[in-house]
Chains A and B, each alone.
Chain A
């Protein structure tokens, strides 16, 4: 059974700081990993999707890396801004089969606060 863990659970940083969020998963047989952002009381916004054949994906100030062999992914946020304050979740497919569809297993998330 796939399990996803995110560390730290909460993080508070001053504006402008670079930061790293961590995600680990127990079953390395994944074919992709997604990072999402969730604002309080809102739905999830997809930030980055990394295919298993990739090691990194970048979007603006965000960079996500994937190391399947060690079961880890990191989300790097450069020059953080107050608007980055949100909960960040990583998710992997629950099973490594073609019929597993879009079923995702999520971590508990990291609650990020960027202080002006």
Chain B
């Protein structure tokens, strides 16, 4: 079974531009979460989608948005890029959102974004 895939793997943008990252979950998984990883802040939760609905959102500005399609693939968009947005963006998928019995989350390889 194929793992979580993320495209593109590397991206270089300039300040003020916008960017769209894509995540394809493991087949059959319906929950997709996004995280930002930076050396200073570590791993921080961005948002989670399940059945095309955003279930949770982290403490990020409105420039960060996402969506999920009917096939569970997800995209995240960052508008008006800032230097501080340079990071590794990780996507994770699970069968369903963790409830009383949590589902193991499977992470993709990430998209490394560099903002110049």
Contacts and interface: CB of A to CB of B under 8 A. Distances in A.
> On chain A, which size bracket covers the interface?
20 to 34
Contacts of A32: 98, 101-102
Interface of B is mostly: strand
Interface in A69-116: 89, 91, 93-94, 98-109
Contacts, number: 80
A60 interface: no
Interface of B: 4, 6, 31, 33, 35, 42-43, 45, 48, 50, 55-56, 58, 88, 90, 92, 94, 97-110, 112
A53 B35 CA distance: 27
B101 A51 contact: yes
A45 interface: yes
B109 A103 contact: no
